[in-house]
Structure 1
Amino acid sequence: MSLKRLSLLILASMPLALWADGEVGGSAAGLSLPSERVVSSVMARDEKAFANLQQRMSLLNSERGVAINSYALAKAQAWWDLANAEYRMNDRSDYVRAVLAEVERLLVLMESDKPADLTRVEPKPSKPLREDMWRAVAELKAASAFACAEANTARLEVMLAGAGHDYDELGWRHAVPRVAMAERLLKRAKVDFDDEACKPKPEPVIVPEIVAAPAEASTTVAEPVPVIVQDSPVCVPLPAPAPEPTVKVYADRVHFAFASDVLSLRSQELLMAWIELLRSQPDLAVDLIGHTDMQGMDGLNEKLSARRVLAVREFFMAAGISPKRLLTQAQGKRAPTSLQAAENRRVELRLRGDIPGIRLQRQQQDVQ
């Protein structure tokens, strides 16, 4: 056998992720080329590539103590979410591989204990939509209280970059949803600065101590001061009212797109508040109840509602929440709560028992 033929056979037997690098260089976190995403075995391997990156993010938080709301980890998660959404929407460009390569770059930085750079890094340059918002991003990063807005600023950058990709591929109409989400993220990032912990503390005022001069000796006898007796009753001040207990509000549901079990970025933000609650209350358990709209066959809707519950459960588990605390149900289309189909595509979250200071509230901010 010739040396050339032997070399070709060796290359053909190697896993694709080791040599099919495409345009982005490296293995692109092990993801396949777009042209090969046509068989179940390739797509299963891609699922493992996504899961591997998510596991690394989970370990950075649980074992190395990298804060979830830190700029680098929030940005890596946002890029992962964008890549996952584009992959499931069958993006046939090499954009998904490029985005996962950027996730890999950020993970390597954090795993090496290197600080994340705040420069704008895009996997593939796209049309810079909304230059005014990019200027706002630069202002957020330059603010003295940037540490309070790191997570939402990172998500904002990724959302704007994704909108630019949508514009390049499909035009303005397809970029509008991500531009709208970017506008909401910008508002949230500005609100982050209003947190009491982020407001600048006033400089302490030092009041000089006044020392009274010694009184001169006097031989005169002071006249007694007359005592005035009043008939009015003595006023006793009433005790100050006790402060009202603080009540924290949590979303009681997250929503999904039609026929989808992928968590949107907004849904993930709502679930992040739940993760913080579950970490602060280690004995708390939550029911996760999946639903669909009224369209389609019963059996398919049962399976879809189960996948939606699994998506929420896995999101919690990736953040270190024990599966024993996450109790799941799949209701299919049996329990609609609205005439609007989009509002019925949901996973409800219910606490086991009443917890003082916690209130659940129905929300529609992530309806798709």
Structure 2
Amino acid sequence: MNKNHSPFVFRSGLIVVAAACLTLASAFAVAQENTNPVLTPQEDRITDRAIHRDHGIYRDTQQRIKTLNDGGRRVADYHLSKAQCWLDVSFHEYSRNDRGGFPQAALEESQRILTSLEEKKDPGWETPLVNGAEKLRPDLWERYDALKKHAGFQCATQQTACAEVELVHAGNEIHDAGWRHAKPYVQIAEDLTGAAEQAAEKCAPPPAPPVAAPVKLTLSADALFRFDKSTEQDLLVKGREELDEMAEKLRTGFPNVKRLSVIGHTDRLGGKAYNQKLSESRANTVKAYLEQRGVRVPITAEGRGLTEQVKACEGVSPRKALIDCLQPNRRVEVIVHEDAQP
């Protein structure tokens, strides 16, 4: 026999090949059984095959979390965090050979959340007391409710979700094994709650986009329209010139213009309803004229009639003097709303 090939080496090779074949067969059997995501009852976890099967369920559930994260859902997302924490406490108790129903109940809650997320549904914001867990520390649950309403909650989602799960974990332990077993998980919940509150307080709200102060451009209605008129055919030559200049200014002098508001006003002479209609008609005429001259931003038009007088002219007479005095009230305002400069 060749001295470089001993019988031991040959037999060892057979053993390795045989073990590999058994492993593949076992893996196939476990994969077949994992189509049913229910853990093996504790009293039946006495074979490697049963344990491998259960571990496969945990791996499959973990993969679902990873897939959601790969699809763009943040690791710190409240619901994804809660699904992860339910999975973690389930596996923790499974590994400790928990004899109750908590590992299965926690696993099912993780899977319920994941199914909702996968189907693009809201999993809800309540944390159920699975497996008949006792509701411990009402003060902590009140703090979780407050955190969810906090302006900085987006920075505390992960700690809040896991604190809630750990408190349910503790509530399960206390009715199964007493306070000594529940205390470590209450401590974890307390620590996570404090960390969540600190994170929320330090979390700066997203900055509001800067908004520039509106610019008001005022045109005299007497310069725009013939007396008591409002249509485009009633525009005076000077009024057309002023509107042409305004259109050019809006196109070139306001590069960040976002929208325009055109507001018509009248003086206090005449009836309220009549003045309201006149002011609306003049505002709409100016709006249409600007649009025809190439102003492409959104424009709204409204009339305010005689409600916003800028000059009272009390005691002025005769009537012509009063009409002249009230001229500033007869106006059309164009409000320019701009985005602020970066």
Give TM-score, length-normalised by structure 2.
0.50
Give TM-score, length-normalised by structure 1.
0.46
- Whose Rg is larger? 2
Q: Where is the helix percentage greater, Structure 1 or Structure 2?
A: 2
